[in-house]
Amino acid sequence: MDPIVIDATSIRHLDLSPLRICTDQSLNSLLDQGPILELNFHWPRDARDPRELAECPEPRLWALRADARYPWLPLILERDRGSLIRHVAMVVSHTFNRSEGLRFDPQALDLWLTHRLMQLDELCNEKLNRPMRGNLSQMAVALGYELNDSFWALLN
């Protein structure tokens, strides 16, 4: 799948139509493809603007809307080139330091990830009849968490 470009017009209007290539497919079909979706945000910034993209309120609002409408989005975002991390940075409190990089607020990330794991586990098991705990665990690892079986045992 080619990267999806999220342009300034889509961002300003909270237009999720760039994701139509994903929403035109069944969720099972998307999950069959694995975490391959890459989002490229084209948001104009002054060259003197020191903020990272995830610190700009307009792209963050677009990402929050996408995250609310498509809670399964993190499952299909690619993980090796930073799309998952970038998306999570858009929706979870964090700081950015040029020397230390991205630092998530630990409690905010814990809450978002736990909520999302529970939500997606239920969606995949009950609505899609498709266990995805391995993929969910890999998503957690990409965010710096290692889940053990006791987490999943709580949800059984």
Query: Could you give the dihedral angle defined by the CA atoms of residues 46, 84, 33 and 125, in that order, rounded to the nearest 10 degrees?
Result: -140
Token readout for 15 is 């237009």
Q: What's the pLDDT band for 133 if we cut at 50, 70, 90?
A: very high
Q: Give the integer Cα–Cα distance in Å for 68 and 128.
A: 19
Strand partners, 103: 95
User: Residue 101: left (phi > 0), alpha (psi -120 to 50), or beta?
Assistant: left
pLDDT at 7 over 90: yes
Q: What's the pLDDT band for 97 if we cut at 50, 70, 90?
A: confident
pLDDT at 70 over 90: yes
pLDDT at 2 over 90: no
The answer to which of 20-29, 60-69, 93-102 has the lowest mean pLDDT is 93-102
Number of structural domains (the chain) is 1
pLDDT at 74: 95
pLDDT at 1: 77
Predicted model pTM: 0.91
**What range does the domain containing 50 cover?**
4-155
